[in-house]
Every structure is written in C-alpha cells, then in structure tokens.
Structure 1
C-alpha cells in the first residue's frame, strides 16, 4: 500500500505522461482518454443502431408497440454512443 505522498507523486507522473505522450497512454490502455487508439470510426456500433432501428419498425408494424418503443430507445442510445466515439476518433 502506498503512502499519501507516493500516491500524489504517482498521480503527478501519470498526468505528466498523459500530457507528454497521450497516444502512448491510449495504446497502453491506462484509462479512458479522448484520443482513440485506432483512429477508425465505430462502424459496428452504427450497424447495430441501424439494425435496431429496423427491428423497432418491424415490431411496431407487427403490433408490438411497447417492444417497438423499447427497441427504438435502445437504437437511439446506441447511435448516440457511436456518435460520441466517432467524434473522439476525429480529434486525432
């Protein structure tokens, strides 16, 4: 177990490393940083959002209104998550 001074120094070193080399920190997976390690858009999330949107339409057309609304909400949340990840990959 580290002392308070050791914890403070370690946190200071982590912040300095994040400032000096954020790409290295992202590659090492040391936390949730705004720079993506791959730089690619999150295409699987967009595909999942599209499939969920179609599934919600099918549910509504079949007559399952509550299920259709739940799947539509799930689709919207997935699309928003994909949008946030895409925005973060474009900052590189």
Structure 2
C-alpha cells in the first residue's frame, strides 16, 4: 500500500505524462480516459451562489415569497456544489 505522499507523487507523474504524451497514455490505457485533467476552481461557484442569494433577498424584499424561496434553494444547491468540488480537489492533491 502506498503512503499518502507516494500516492500524491504517482498522481502528479500520471498527470505530467498525460500532458506530455497523450498518445502513449491512450495506447497504454486503451484510450479510455474518463477522468478530466482540467480542474476548475470552486471560487466562481461561490460567487455565483452569492449573486443568486442576493437576488433571493431582493425578491423577498419585494414580497415575492415563492420566487424568493425557489431562488434561495437554487443558491443553496450552487453553494453545495462548490463545497463538493472544493473537497474533491483537496482529496486529489
């Protein structure tokens, strides 16, 4: 069993090889790469969630309660997606 440091280093080497020689990786792996090599940061999702939540507050201020509740739920789902993405990015390192 590999240590955490060895696992991290192996993942780093795999990413580097994928960037430098994708043809070799495709031949050795059967051309099946389901894991994306690009990692998008979670910060834009947090910003979007904040903007959506501000919209919910504005809708509540004008007493559009149903619309406000729907938009607040949307903001919550977006914030949870950002947290999940951030946690997955931490476990990959």
For the aligned pair, the TM-score class normalised by the smaller chain equals 0.5 to 0.7
1:48 has 2:48 as partner: yes
Superposed CA RMSD: 3.0
Residues of 1 paired with 2:67 and 2:87: CA distance?
30
Q: Which 4+ runs in 1 deviate beyond 3 A?
A: 20-24, 26-29
What TM-score do the two structures reach when normalised by structure 1? 0.61
Residues of 1 paired with 2:45 and 2:75: CA distance?
10
SS state of the match for residue 54, structure 2?
Answer: helix
Residues of 1 paired with 2:11 and 2:54: CA distance?
42
Cα drift, residue 90 of structure 1: 1.1
Q: How many residues align?
A: 70
Structure 2 spans left out of the alignment, 5+ residues: 1-9, 23-31
- Alignment match, 1:74: 74
Cα drift, residue 31 of structure 1: 2.0
Structure 1 spans left out of the alignment, 5+ residues: 1-19
Residues of 1 paired with 2:84 and 2:69: CA distance?
23
What TM-score do the two structures reach when normalised by structure 2? 0.60
